[in-house]
Chain A
Amino acid sequence: MSIYLRNIIRFALLILIQVLLLNRIPLNWWAPPYIAFVYPLFILLLPISTSTNFLMVFAFFTGLTMDAFMNTGGIHAMACVAMAISRKRVLAFLLPQRLSEYQNATPGPKIMSWGSFLTYAAILMLLHNLIYTLIEVWTLQSFWYFVVKTGITFLTSMLFVVIYLLLFTKSVNRKTFD
């Protein structure tokens, strides 16, 4: 499967999971109702060699699609673009080789090991959730509400990200487990 087709399918799949499943189940496990986000994974899983400009444009339109489904104006687009611009730095920090050496490789547990991939995902998801919650809540009147909401959104989002990866990654890093 070509890398374009794979990314297009992943985009559709993630948007569908987000819209049809996760948006339908507002969780209120510990706190105010919130929604876990899994679709930013699309931006996380774009090929490593994608230039930041393209990444931002893709992220913008991904976010805009979510905004259309969730009636949130441009909040998702904003958070996604912020994710996209910081992706390269985080990757460069975590990967051992220069980024240009990974041709068409997708960041994932396959080439990064679970530990560093989860760090990478956690940093960017936290950024996304921070921006999203900040604009959604809009006021910092009750600071703890904001912190708690961001925290649990982040934790459950990471949970769903891991579940998605376990479900849809072909072979889960055989090298590490050998």
Chain B
Amino acid sequence: MREALAGAFEAAPSMRHYVLDEQGAVRKHVAVFVNARMIADRSRLDVGIEPGDRVFVIQALTGG
């Protein structure tokens, strides 16, 4: 999955710091799913994916 995200960031470099913080972790109020399953650890992106899998980056709930 890390490579899949890296590919997206290469295509749109400014996206990187919207999705990840400066330590490389997924931001607290962003959620990443592989197909229907949310990744468990924001700082561990080395999640295996298979051809045909879909990675979703979504806005979790925040605000006020």
Tell me whether A and B are bound partners. Answer: no
